[in-house]
Copies of this chain bind each other. A is one copy, B any other.
Amino acid sequence: MNGITIGTLARSAGVGVETVRYYQRRGLLPESAGRKGAFRVYGDAELARLRSIRRAQTLGFSLDEIADLLALDHERDRENARALARSKIASVEERIRQLEDVRSALQELVDCCGHTEAPAPCPILRALGGEPRESESDSNPASTRPTLRKQPASTARAG
């Protein structure tokens, strides 16, 4: 698998040729020094890296984050690398917590939909909104809803 051209590399990693080039433009993948005639050739290193990128992506990392992660690999500064990795762990854990919250909100919804057939109980709005609001059509403020902490304004745009 050494000395392959871009098409084979792409196919081996299950991506398109354009995607490989895109990663190269973004600096995630080296452009490959070696050439066989006019065509660039790649090897196991590039294939491995390409697969790593895809895997990291499926795990929810942005390409910028992946660039950071891959850079750790070349970091001589282990201290720094550890710190970066730890902060990634923290953000991953935060995300997990949030998802667990929504899971239980949804579960509640399913449960409550399950045992009532009344016309308007169990609003998703409440499950998602979390905050006990009196109005709407609700005059009972004594809800058991766990107060949810303020969400940061910069939502899905993790820098």
Q: Is the CB of B153 within 8 A of A14?
A: yes
Cα distance A129–B128 when bound, in Å? 36
The answer to whether A17 has its CB under 8 Å from any CB of chain B is no
Chain B residue at minimum C-beta to C-beta distance from A69: B124
Bound state CA distance, A119 and B55, in angstroms?
25
> Is B107 in contact with A89, judged by CB distance below 8 angstroms?
yes
For A45, list chain B residues within 8 Å (CB). Answer: 135-137
Q: Is A44 close to B, CB under 8 A?
A: yes
Give chain B residues whose Cβ lies under 8 Å from the Cβ of A128: 52, 55-56, 69
Q: How far is the CA of A58 from the CA of B57 in the complex (A)?
A: 19
Query: A20-28, A34-42, A98-106: which one contacts chain B?
Result: A98-106
Determine the distance from Cα of A99 to Cα of B99 in the docked complex, in whole angstroms: 10
Q: Is the CB of B14 within 8 A of A151?
A: yes
In the docked arrangement, what's the CA distance between A51 and B126, Å? 10
In angstroms, Cα B88 to Cα A61, docked, is 21
Given the complex, which residues of B lie within 8 Å of A89, measured CB to CB?
Answer: 103, 106-107, 110
Residues of A within 8 A of B (CB): 1-2, 12-15, 43-45, 48-49, 51-52, 54-61, 69-70, 72-73, 76, 78, 81-82, 85-86, 88-89, 92-93, 95-96, 98-103, 106-107, 109-110, 113-114, 117, 119, 123-125, 128-131, 133, 135-138, 141, 148, 150-153, 155-156
